[in-house]
Structure 1
């Protein structure tokens, strides 16, 4: 969901700054994201099962603590790169298929300190919400093959909020996926939903919905409607749909995909952080 964001720090750092949060649904350093007919989303998620809150509270945006063994460090193994099957991005994009787009992001107020509101969901509750969101089909009619990988949702939520559902960022980003209020309103109108940005489950759906919207919007313009979000297809920052969707979640679609211009990634460190978290985040084990 496009929105104002936060500064990015290396993924291996113990603390990811909350100030960088924005929404993806988000957009930070630059601005974020229907001609297509509205589509229905899947049914509401099953009732959560209560799970005991783990001891301790991680800091907002804390990065995964990955400590490779001496053996692994001494004998690194590399997975062979598969033969590329997706189309490379167009240099000159097709006109966008969606003419109604999310509002631009807002910049955080100077000197602001992030706040908290509402109850904080447990890690088990967050995991269940993200898993459910990843299993949904967001474009059942025009693009039923679009799926948001669970590891992408988990990594984005960790980068954005450290899986803390009660965080409100200085730019207005809310909760788990740091969804901007204006972006949440836009997404609800676009998809005919009534998700509550303050509810951690709905927040997860809004974040995934925004990622799905970005996937279709950018995929139609630059990748000839190939919606593959496969990291193995990435040979550079703008070489694959996955990287540019991650970038747009942070800074908004307007900063990444412009009519008549090639793709650009103005926030490479954010993309690198999320990509690293997709395979090295401690949250993947929750």
Structure 2
């Protein structure tokens, strides 16, 4: 299914990989400024601009008022000092990919790209301006391209950097957040908050990418596969330009290297395995901290995406 869809989409994209075909949809984007070497790198993922609707100003409920989530379902956790911990369920991000939120005056964007398994939280402030992000419908290296509604610049989600438009080269600040199971979050944060179900018609809790993370090749990706015989869709934990294979961390439980402490515990379902997210196979939870115990910004992404965006990255294989 993925292979056939890839072929047809690739043919369509090669015929229209040019700003001239995009200007009617993006009249305010400055295509004269870009860090992209070739427009062929940018593909349509299928949905048009805002076809995957980002969420703005989400509502929250108390942990013990939430009864829809399964304990093993993944959430993106944000625990800012002095603020009530918040959980953003992947069952909602699967269908919306971006949540524009505000935590006591701190504007943030919680993002999830299913095709890369990349879940990152950004500070939405850039040069004194607060940006609001949407989903462009475009992909590069199979990773979501976001856009900001203020300048209509395009942003690469995996690296948090503008790649097309007036803000090209600008980087967003990444905030420490992590994926864990709903059960882990509510056990640790009994007074926490969880994002409420959006008032939209979506099959929340279902996975539209059944067995995707068991595939041999990523969807809409034709780049170089990872080195060291690492499977393309194996999960790696990225900290900066270094990546630790999830299997290595799971095997030993904890790794301390280069000032980074990575620990693994079982109990989190893969969101990209079974039809029902909470029934996915156990991929576990990784926490990433410094030696003083402070949470570090990181990402748990597929190996092909790390290699695509960090081709000279440091593979922490323990050999």
Same fold (TM over 0.5): no
The structure with the largest strand share of the pair is: 2
Greater relative contact order (Cα 8 A, min sep 6): structure 1 or 2? Answer: 1
